[in-house]
């Protein structure tokens, strides 16, 4: 049984599309309930509860998450919200840096800090964070790689801290996924997209459902003993020679 079944809910940031929406569909299909924390409504089927918020705004994030906690018993939290970034290091921009760090790292830790007390009281909870294969290294991705490496470090530390309270924390690290984020830099049918697919041992980029299936594994009560792990979902690209894409 997945953790969100019954009267509990799974909070998914960024469930308005892409991986987050695919995961929301999985949770709903298994009888669970989902709250979407995002800057726009979800494209998932009816049944998802939208809470519109700018996750780069710390105060707005706190207010939105506290409202969710006041209305629902949160059994799972998944941080899917993110924005793409590819640029050489000499193009560093302080404003862009702050936005990416706030969305990927600060929002995740803030939401976890808010939901953990209730999970501790029940001695039950599942937390899943979205990492990236980019944390292993990729050209023009120093900033994105840094925040995703930070996600992994945060998850491992939290896994140790929260394990005595019955809460597991894990990371799913996708390679390229066929979402609007990917197509910003690799338009469908372009030479860049073709080169990217050629660098993946399985010969294709992931579908959002591929990543959602992995996240669902960590949300199940049956896998509650698994914690502090990072699961690559990249068609073998994490063990293949890098080709700089």
Kindly list the catalytic residues. 144
- At 165, list the tokens: 């309270």
- The Cα 56–Cα 139 span in angstroms is 26
Within 10 angstroms of residue 67's Cβ, the number of other Cβ atoms is: 13
Neighbouring residues of 201: CB distance < 8 A, sequence distance ≥ 6: 235, 236, 237, 240
**DSSP conformation class of 39:** S
**DSSP conformation class of 13:** E
Neighbouring residues of 205: CB distance < 8 A, sequence distance ≥ 6: 175, 176, 177, 178, 182, 196, 197, 235
Number of H-type helices and E-type strands within the chain: 8, 7
Neighbouring residues of 239: CB distance < 8 A, sequence distance ≥ 6: none
Q: Are 51 and 67 spatial neighbours (Cβ–Cβ below 8 Å)?
A: yes
């Amino acid at each position: 049984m997945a953790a969100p079944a019954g009267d509990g809910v799974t909070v998914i940031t960024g469930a308005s599309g892409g991986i987050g929406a695919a995961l929301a569909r999985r949770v709903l299909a298994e009888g669970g309930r989902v709250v979407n924390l995002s800057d726009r409504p979800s494209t998932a089927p009816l049944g998802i509860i939208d809470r519109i918020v700018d996750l780069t705004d710390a105060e707005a994030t706190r207010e939105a998450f506290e409202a969710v906690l006041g209305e629902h018993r949160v059994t799972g939290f998944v941080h899917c919200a993110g924005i793409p970034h590819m640029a050489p290091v000499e193009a560093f921009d302080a404003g862009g840096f702050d936005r990416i760090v706030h969305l990927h790292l600060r929002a995740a830790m803030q939401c976890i800090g808010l939901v953990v007390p209730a999970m501790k009281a029940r001695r039950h909870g599942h937390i899943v964070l979205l990492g990236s294969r980019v944390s292993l290294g990729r050209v023009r991705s120093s900033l994105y790689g840094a925040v995703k490496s930070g996600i992994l470090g945060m998850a491992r530390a939290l896994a140790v801290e929260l394990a005595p309270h019955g809460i597991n924390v894990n990371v799913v690290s996708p390679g390229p996924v066929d979402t609007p984020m990917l197509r910003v830099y690799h338009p469908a049918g372009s030479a860049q997209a073709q080169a990217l697919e050629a660098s993946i041992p399985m010969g294709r980029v992931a579908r959002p459902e591929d990543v959602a299936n992995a996240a669902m594994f960590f949300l199940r009560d049956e896998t509650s003993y698994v914690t502090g792990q990072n699961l690559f979902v990249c068609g073998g690209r994490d063990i293949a020679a890098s080709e700089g894409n």
